[in-house]
Structure 1
Amino acid sequence: MGCSPRSSFSSSACFWAFLLSAAIQLLVTVNGGSIPITILHAAKARGAVCLDGSPPAYHMEKGSGSGANNWLVHIEGGGWCDDIESCVSRKDTYKGSSLKMDKTIGFSGILGSKQASNPDFYNWNRIKIKYCDGSSFTGDVEAVDPKTGLYFRGERIWRAVIDDLLAQGMKTAQNAILSGCSAGGLAAILHCDKFKALLPPTARVKCVSDAGFFIHGNDISGGRAIEKFFGGVVNTHGSTKNLPASCTSRMRPDLCFFPQYVAQTMRTPLFLINAAYDSWQIKNVLAPTSADKKGAWKSCKLDLKKCSASQLQAVQGFRTQFLSAINTGLGNSSKGLFINSCHAHCQSGSQLTWAGKGPILANTRIGKAVGDWFNERSSFEKIDCPYPCNPTCVNIDSES
């Protein structure tokens, strides 16, 4: 949220950020209970391991009743590492090692178990894949550097987890969703068609990407720092061979890490949940540190109310870039859109924003929009008016 662990509460922004974080954690606990971690020890035999060589993991709550044969697989977010140094820094954390992960977590939002707040998916088999490879589950390098001990095996992790779920009954699924937030939302797009291909042809299979539509955008210096960064991810992890061939066959592989080029040829229905002023993208696509060397954007990036008139104009220009990428990048006629005007990142994992008092578009909250779209009760393709028009916004910044 922009407040360091050492920040005092003398800053009102940090104080309110703390209260929001505490409220979200309370909602997670109340709504989901404690879901134990499953460590896939057997996956090590196929080289499917985290950055540090530890086995992959997921959390699962089994379905019941009418949801017993329905599956919702949600991919955790958490950024990327684009070179050896940054991957080493993740290696001994929960973002690079299952040894560092929480043993139990709460489920909320799209994974929530309460019918009242998650009526369409509450009793499905609900899984959260833990993210420990730093490449949105696309990497696969056989060699292991003896100096760093780094493993780049994201694609193997993805397949090992999915194979395990198929063996547990997902191979006969009637309904299934692949979803994710942030880097996990990108992974859901990159693996969407693969996911559908592994399930019965009679199953209804769709994908939901939350805060995962990272655009190939211009920054405040006129450059494209995000292109260099994503290119580093693809090269470091050996991702090229695992990116969608429908994209890599027609353009540079590093560009196929951008959803706007992948989604054009996707065959599986996709729903995008995204803020047009995505807080991660404002900080890292529009105004990255490399383009903001004097730190003029430091306050604006954290709170749009603190932007100058010229900065706000650039922020509105980012929205224009974002909407253009959506308009040209989504070719699927079965798409769904919930693009609000919040300054937020990841809105499906919290009860607050999924179905509580969170953002509304067309008199509809996110959870209902996704449920209606998946079950084909009605379509939903809504794009909000420009900031700051929506008073229902909850400006949450998460990578859950």
Structure 2
Amino acid sequence: MISQRLRRLILSQKWTKKEWTVAAAVSLVVLMYAFSFLSESQSKDRSNGAQPFGSSSAVSVPLTLLRNSKEKGAFCLDGSSPGYHIQKGFGSGLESWVLHIEGGGWCGTIEGCSSRRGTQLGSSNSMDLQVQFSGILSSLPSQNPDFFNWNKVKIRYCDGGSLSGHPEAEFTNGTTLLFRGQLIWEAIMDELLSLGLSNAKQALLSGCSAGGLATFLHCDDFREILPKDITVKCLADASFFLNEKDIAGQNTMASLYQSVVNLQGSEKSLDKECLTRTESSKHYQCLFPQEFLMNIKTPLFLVHPAYDFWQIQHIFVPDNSDPRGEWFRCKRNILQCNSEQLEVLHGYRNSLLKILDDVQQKKKFGMFVNSCFVHCQTWMTETWHSPNSPRINNKTIAESVGDWYFGRKDVKHIDCPFPCNPTCRNMDMLHSILH
């Protein structure tokens, strides 16, 4: 059940219809986390590996506010200091680092960004002081076999622009919104370098959803700030947002990205090669990974559900493209789709796979594209690595990422179409909302 606090927060906002789609996604992701934590806290770890904290349950990691925030001019939307959670590595992982940027949608209007100011997506004053590390951030070898003892950092997301905004775009017409995404990225990297990241022997930058988009945008930057002779790679989860028209022929996602880039001045953070070949009025298109993915030089791994429920609900079948509600049940629970609707969704999957054709030819890139109805699979133990995790070729996401990162094998796993994979953990969004 959605908490009363979250319900009041959602109902109290005066958002545009476009921003309501982002809010809905955020609430669902929060709900997924709650289910994940409940399940994880009730299960016992059966690994014989090292358990540094003397407990098989997930570890609570405190929030750290950015120390050099004021000096760097790096602030959340409301002017508060950005934050992160850090857990030191141990054993053989002392000089290895995994960073994970959380997601949470975007805001492309003054109204939408103002609504986020009082939430954890716009202010560190509203962030949880403790978070549970699970999935790719877990310290348990049975849940995170290759990265469990690394230094682990969760970067909180409070700028609404995938860490891409610039202060030159800030409005002065009575608002107090700050667009400092790029500065937040730079300031957090500076602080982590001082805490030991500069001495890393191995590093992995990851992110989910809007945080995964930030990973795309800053992957090569991350490579540049670290020693040249170490292994540095990136992992983007559920963040390959497609530049596709919705079922009514409208450019819903493109319009949102255009408003984000225009409002937050994100153009300066976008891929330079993409900007060069794109006419100035369409520079916002360079926020779509498909437009600049092949320009990324750092090895990159894509974790992506071909039936990503966020993209289906908000890019492909947004509410305004379905005024009669014919897709209401289908887009919240893929098991409720009729045969015609499934054919349409298969077409959306085919568009994704066509775009990814070139990625399959790039040796340093890897992918795990399953046919599950989910969104973000690396930060939850249930989908990252557990007995019930999604698998392709009998490999979990964690095993596939590990094989790729350490060069054990070439990993380009692409699932068969839904509903062929019985290991998929498909989310029933309709049940979640109604209960």
In structure 1, the gaps of 5 or more residues are 8-16
Who is 1:91 aligned against?
117
Q: Is the 8 A contact 2:64 2:83 kept in 1?
A: yes
What's the TM-score, normalizing by structure 2? 0.85
What's the offset of the Cα at 1:146? Answer: 5.6
SS state of the match for residue 292, structure 2? helix
What's the offset of the Cα at 1:360? Answer: 0.6
- Distance in 2, matches of 1:314 and 1:262, equals 27
Q: Is the 8 A contact 2:120 2:158 kept in 1?
A: yes
- Distance in 1, matches of 2:277 and 2:57, equals 45
- Distance in 1, matches of 2:200 and 2:220, equals 16
Are residues 212 and 243 of structure 1, via their aligned partners in 2, closer, same or farther at CA, if it must alter by over 3 Å? same
Residue-by-residue CA offset, 1:166-204 (whole Å, 9 max, x unaligned): 111111211000100010111111110110011100010
Who is 1:167 aligned against?
194
SS state of the match for residue 45, structure 1? helix
Who is 1:25 aligned against?
37
SS state of the match for residue 385, structure 1? coil
Q: Is the 8 A contact 1:264 1:330 kept in 2?
A: no
* Deviates most, 97-106 or 63-72: 63-72
Q: Is the 8 A contact 2:359 2:365 kept in 1?
A: no
Q: Is the 8 A contact 2:68 2:191 kept in 1?
A: no
What's the offset of the Cα at 1:308? Answer: 2.5
Aligned counterpart for 1:263 among listed residues 289, 293, 297: 293
Q: Is the 8 A contact 1:190 1:244 kept in 2?
A: yes
Paired residues in the alignment total 389
Q: Is the 8 A contact 2:333 2:428 kept in 1?
A: no
- AA aligned to 2:211 is G
Who is 1:14 aligned against?
none
- Distance in 2, matches of 1:386 and 1:183, equals 25
Matches for 1:194-343 after TM superposition, within 5 Å = 194-251=221-278, 252-328=282-358, 332-343=362-373
Who is 1:106 aligned against?
132
* Deviates most, 291-300 or 170-179: 291-300
- AA aligned to 1:353 is T
- Distance in 2, matches of 1:187 and 1:202, equals 24
- Distance in 1, matches of 2:392 and 2:2, equals 27
What's the offset of the Cα at 1:19? Answer: 9.9
Are residues 146 and 100 of structure 1, via their aligned partners in 2, closer, same or farther at CA, if it must alter by over 3 Å? farther
Are residues 329 and 152 of structure 1, via their aligned partners in 2, closer, same or farther at CA, if it must alter by over 3 Å? farther
- AA aligned to 1:269 is P
* Deviates most, 336-345 or 311-320: 311-320
- Distance in 2, matches of 1:317 and 1:55, equals 43
RMSD value over aligned CA atoms? Answer: 2.3
- Distance in 1, matches of 2:258 and 2:2, equals 26
Residue-by-residue CA offset, 1:277-330 (whole Å, 9 max, x unaligned): 001000011101232223221111101121222222211111111111222467
- Distance in 1, matches of 2:30 and 2:201, equals 41
* Deviates most, 192-201 or 135-144: 135-144
- AA aligned to 1:85 is E
- AA aligned to 1:87 is C
Percent identity, please: 45
- Distance in 2, matches of 1:19 and 1:287, equals 21
- AA aligned to 1:108 is S
1:353 maps onto 2:383 in alignment: yes
- Distance in 1, matches of 2:363 and 2:191, equals 32
Who is 1:193 aligned against?
220
- AA aligned to 1:200 is P
Residue-by-residue CA offset, 1:208-254 (whole Å, 9 max, x unaligned): 01101111112101232111111111111100011121221222421
- AA aligned to 1:198 is I
Are residues 184 and 18 of structure 1, via their aligned partners in 2, closer, same or farther at CA, if it must alter by over 3 Å? closer
Q: Is the 8 A contact 1:190 1:262 kept in 2?
A: no
- Distance in 2, matches of 1:173 and 1:126, equals 12
Q: Is the 8 A contact 1:277 1:319 kept in 2?
A: yes
- Distance in 2, matches of 1:243 and 1:336, equals 23
What's the TM-score, normalizing by structure 1? 0.92
Who is 2:79 aligned against?
53
SS state of the match for residue 277, structure 2? coil
Who is 1:10 aligned against?
none
Q: Is the 8 A contact 1:52 1:96 kept in 2?
A: yes
Who is 2:14 aligned against?
none
- Distance in 1, matches of 2:181 and 2:30, equals 33
- Distance in 2, matches of 1:144 and 1:330, equals 43
What's the offset of the Cα at 1:6? Answer: 6.4
- Distance in 2, matches of 1:351 and 1:375, equals 21
Q: Is the 8 A contact 2:302 2:366 kept in 1?
A: yes
- Distance in 2, matches of 1:396 and 1:104, equals 26
Q: Is the 8 A contact 1:59 1:128 kept in 2?
A: yes
SS state of the match for residue 361, structure 1? coil
Runs of 4+ in 1 over 3 A off after TM superposition: 1-7, 17-23, 27-31, 328-332
- AA aligned to 1:258 is F
